[in-house]
């Protein structure tokens, strides 16, 4: 238990569906992250939020839309996804973004399958 929770843990959706992934951290951190891990590929950073402001968008397609209403919650809204978007989506948090030596704590991930 890392203090970072993600729901749902598993999600199957069609290409025309709209769904959202939720992440919540109970660590009092100010930075939150979304990562994507496709099969047999390294983790890829998608978005970074620091004090609710987006500080990094790693060239992510617009069909992925993040939202950070406060420092404890992070959402990833999904619409018109493609089968190649099937992956494990991981959320992480740290004390702050850009803090030297800060460590990231990861949630368990959401396994997404796009049909």
**Site residues (vs another protein, CB under 8 A):** 2, 4, 31, 33, 42-43, 45, 48, 50, 55-56, 88, 90, 92, 94, 96-109, 111
Considering the complex, what minimum distance in angstroms separates the CB of residue 41 from another protein? 9
Asked if the bond preceding 8 is cis, omega within 30° of 0, the reply is yes
Q: How far is the CB of 67 from another protein (least distance, A)?
A: 19
The answer to whether 12 touches 76, Cβ cutoff 8 Å, is no
Residue 72 is encoded by which pair of tokens? 């404890």
CB-wise, 58 or 82, nearer to another protein? 58
59: left (phi > 0), else alpha (psi -120 to 50), else beta? left
Q: Which is nearer to another protein, 72 or 96 (by Cβ)?
A: 96
CB of 107 to another protein, least distance (A): 5
Q: Which is nearer to another protein, 63 or 111 (CB)?
A: 111
Find, among 68, 54, 58, 52, the residue nearest to 20 by Cα.
68
């Amino acid at each position: 238990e890392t203090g970072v929770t993600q729901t749902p843990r598993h999600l199957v959706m069609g290409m025309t569906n709209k769904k959202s992934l939720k992440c919540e951290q109970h660590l009092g951190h100010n930075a939150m992250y979304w990562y994507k891990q496709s099969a047999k590929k390294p983790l890829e950073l998608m978005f970074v939020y620091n004090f609710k402001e987006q500080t990094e968008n790693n060239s992510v397609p617009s069909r992925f839309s993040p939202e950070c209403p406060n420092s404890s919650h992070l959402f990833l809204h999904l619409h018109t996804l493609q089968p190649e978007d099937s992956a494990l989506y991981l959320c992480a948090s740290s004390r702050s973004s850009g803090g030297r030596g800060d460590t990231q704590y990861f949630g368990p991930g959401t396994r997404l399958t796009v049909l």
